[in-house]
Chains A and B, each alone.
Chain A
Amino acid sequence: MERSPFRWLLPIGVLALLVAAWHFIVTLNNLPPYVLPAPGAVLETLIRDRAVLFGSMLVTLETTALALLLAVAGGVGLALIFASARIVEFSLFPIAVILQVTPVIAVAPLMLIYMSTDSAVLLCAWIVAFFPVLSNTTLGLNSVDPNLRDLFRLAGASRWQTLALLRLPTALPYFLGGLRIAGGLALIGAVVGEIAAGSAGQGSGLAFRIVESAYRLNIPRLFAALLLISLAGILIYAVLSLLSWLALRRWHESEIGGPA
């Protein structure tokens, strides 16, 4: 099953079947496009409005990527500080948890008051992406095999050597798992930020296009923008999975036998 072409054909077939069902429901019931557009109409809009829509997609992807990058820098940096001084971990971890459990949609309007739209959207995306990187990397840095730790001690390894040659490699699979979650969350955070900003009449990302299309009852365009957001999410997931596979394929159980 793992290697068989059915692994690819089956999900594509199911998807095609769903799209066909959608098409026939629309045509057989003569539904107007402002209620439910046919898949063909969505595709048509996507091509006609490509300049606006792909431009918006680029904006959203840029925000997501930048937020993810900052989340990695902040999350890994803070995890390293946590790992070297437990007292910092005790002091700061609750704050990270508070940031994580407070719904970002509820905080977004507040951020828009104090910041420019772009920074507020970026901050929304960063807040949700930061936590999985931090918590997974911290977990990884603290998951060192005690025997290997003893071995490093016996060999007279310095703190720096233990970190670079033992703790960081141990943490890598955990970090990459966190990164994959963070990638999806960063996109959600960016979309939430854009919607909050869009409702204030600003922004130019994909989520803003959705809000705008809804106001104008341009439902085909709403679907087209939604399709692009899904595509953006798939793209991010695929890139991060590839990264994970490249880093772990020789040694980690999770990546043996090909990318997930």
Chain B
Amino acid sequence: MTADVNAPAPQTDAPLLALRGVGKRFANAVTALDGLDMEVRQGEFLSLLGPSGCGKSTALRLIAGLSEPSEGRLDWHGEEQARRAAGQPSIGFVFQEPTLMPWASVFGNVHLPLKLAGIGRREAEPAIAEALELVGLSGFRDAYPRELSGGMKMRVSIARALVTKPRLLLMDEPFAALDEITRFKLNNDLLDVWRRLGCTIVFVTHSVFESVYLSSRILVFRARPGRVVAELAIDPNQPRDEAFRTSPEYAGLCRETSQALARAMDPR
């Protein structure tokens, strides 16, 4: 496969997951989500955008199955529904921090999800090599996390999420702690990975510019209680590159998204 920003995006309209009337209250009586209705479609790059405390990360954790909704339900569709019925959900998760095991090499860290599934070093080696190649870290398999820069650690974290070839990749503000230059580079590489693998990505962010650059669809969240207040679609076949980043269309979309976000943050 070759990297090509003009390759068709892997999107269809088939639903993958629907959240219906989902609410989440924590033990300390904080209501993170209330009456959340949203859909994730097969093959799309969906961004959840909103101010901090709007419950977008909570929604992502519910989708991952890391916590249970207090009310409402999650309906899975198609292939993923069958996989879940068999107890084998196909999900990759990338946290805000790289969350690597400091005692393991890059190879060991990327191996982890396969190791936990009972796949040994030798058997897992091709999948690990492929995942490292996808994030451009083939030469660093024996390095330890402390020897890597912040951006490289995040690449390892993404390779670890991709090593099981998940159909759904969940990312919780993965680039928020990186400098802008590294973030732009990782944005492009992530889009490349998305096109090559044809997976579905749900991406949590608080950056308007990042969400517009990456997404084929943006859901804008409001806080207290968290729910979706606006939806923006962006042509997925629009090439995403430096020309797009500096184009009037991009600026227009950013303005539109910012206004939706401003309305979401309006106290009324």
CB distance A150 to B66 under 8 Å?
Answer: yes
**Residues of B close to A155: CB separation below 8 A:** 112-113, 116-117
28 A-B pairs (CB sep. < 8 Å): A145-B99, A147-B97, A148-B99, A148-B101, A150-B93, A151-B93, A151-B99, A152-B116, A153-B66, A154-B65, A154-B93, A155-B112, A155-B113, A155-B116, A155-B117, A156-B117, A161-B116, A165-B116, A166-B101, A169-B101, A250-B103, A251-B102, A251-B103, A251-B104, A251-B144, A251-B145, A253-B146, A256-B146
Interface of B is mostly: loop
Residues on the A chain within 8 Å of B146, using CB = 251, 253, 256
Interface 1/0s, chain B 110-145, versus A by CB < 8 A? Answer: 001101110000000000000000000000000011
Contact check, A154 vs B64: say whether CB atoms are below 8 A apart: yes
Q: Is A157 an interface residue (CB 8 A)?
A: yes
What's the nearest-Cβ distance from chain B to residue A243, in Å?
Answer: 16
B95 touches A172 (CB 8 A): no
CB-based contact B117/A147 at 8 Å: no
Question: Is A50's CB within 8 Å of the partner chain B?
Answer: no
Q: Closest residue to A250 on the B side, CB-wise?
A: B144
The residues of B that contact A151 with a CB separation of less than 8 Å are: 93, 95, 99, 112
* Per-residue contact bits, chain A 140-182, to B (CB 8 Å; 1 contact, 0 not): 0000010110111111110001000110010010000000000
Q: Complex: how many Å from CA A155 to CA B64?
A: 11
How far, in angstroms, from A169 to B65 measured CA to CA in the complex? 26
**How many Å lie between the Cα of A178 and that of B111 in the bound state?**
31
- Which residue in chain A gives the minimum CB-CB distance to B115? A165
Interface size class on chain B is 20 to 34
Q: How far is the CB of B119 from chain A (nearest CB, A)?
A: 11
Q: How far is the CB of B75 from chain A (nearest CB, A)?
A: 20
**B contact residues around A153 at 8 Å (CB):** 66
Q: Considering the complex, which residues of chain B in the window 54-111 have a beta carbon less than 8 Å from any beta carbon of chain A?
A: 64-66, 91, 93, 95, 97, 99, 101-104
A172 engages B99 (CB within 8 Å) = no
CB-CB under 8 A from A253, the residues of chain B are 146
Compute how far the CA of A148 lies from the CA of B102 in the bound complex, rounded to whole angstroms. Answer: 11
Residues of A within 8 A of B104 (CB): 169, 251
B-contacting residues, A66-108, CB 8 Å: none
Find the A residue at minimum CB distance from B67: A150
Task: Give the CA-CA distance A147 to B157 in the complex, in Å.
Answer: 12
User: Which residues of the other chain, B, contact A147 by a CB distance below 8 angstroms?
Assistant: 95, 97, 99
A252: Cβ under 8 A from any B Cβ: yes
Measured CB to CB, the closest approach of chain B to A108, in angstroms, equals 40
Residues A169 and B112 in contact, CB atoms below 8 Å apart = no
In the bound complex, what is the Cα–Cα distance between A137 and B91 (angstroms)? 33
Interfacial chain A residues near B115, Cβ < 8 Å: 165
Report the Cα distance A156→B97, complex, angstroms: 21
Taking a contact as CB atoms under 8 Å apart, the answer to whether B102 and A252 are in contact is yes
**Beta-carbon nearest neighbor of B145 in chain A:** A251
Q: In the complex the two chains form, what is the Cα distance from A151 to B116 in whole Å? A: 11
B168–chain A nearest beta-carbon distance, Å: 12
Pick from A157, A172, A251, A252: contact of B116, CB under 8 Å = A157
Closest to A162 in B: B116
B66 adjacent to A156 (CB under 8 Å): no
Closest chain-A Cβ to B150's Cβ sits at a distance in Å of 16
CB-CB < 8 A to B65: which residues of A? 154
Q: Which of B66, B91, B99, B116 has the most CB of A within 10 A?
A: B116
User: Which residues of the partner chain A approach B116 to less than 8 Å between Cβ atoms?
Assistant: 152, 155-157, 161, 165
Give chain B residues whose Cβ lies under 8 Å from the Cβ of A154.
64-66, 91, 93
Closest 9 CB pairs of A and B: A147-B99, A155-B116, A147-B95, A169-B103, A157-B116, A251-B102, A155-B113, A251-B103, A251-B144
A156 and B66 alpha carbons, distance in the complex (Å):
11
What's the minimum C-beta distance from B248 to chain A, rounded to whole angstroms?
A: 40
The smallest beta-carbon distance between A31 and chain B, in angstroms, is 55
Residues of B within 8 A of A152 (CB): 116
Residues of B near A145 (CB, < 8 A) are: 99
Residues on B with beta carbons closer than 8 Å to the beta carbon of A161 = 116
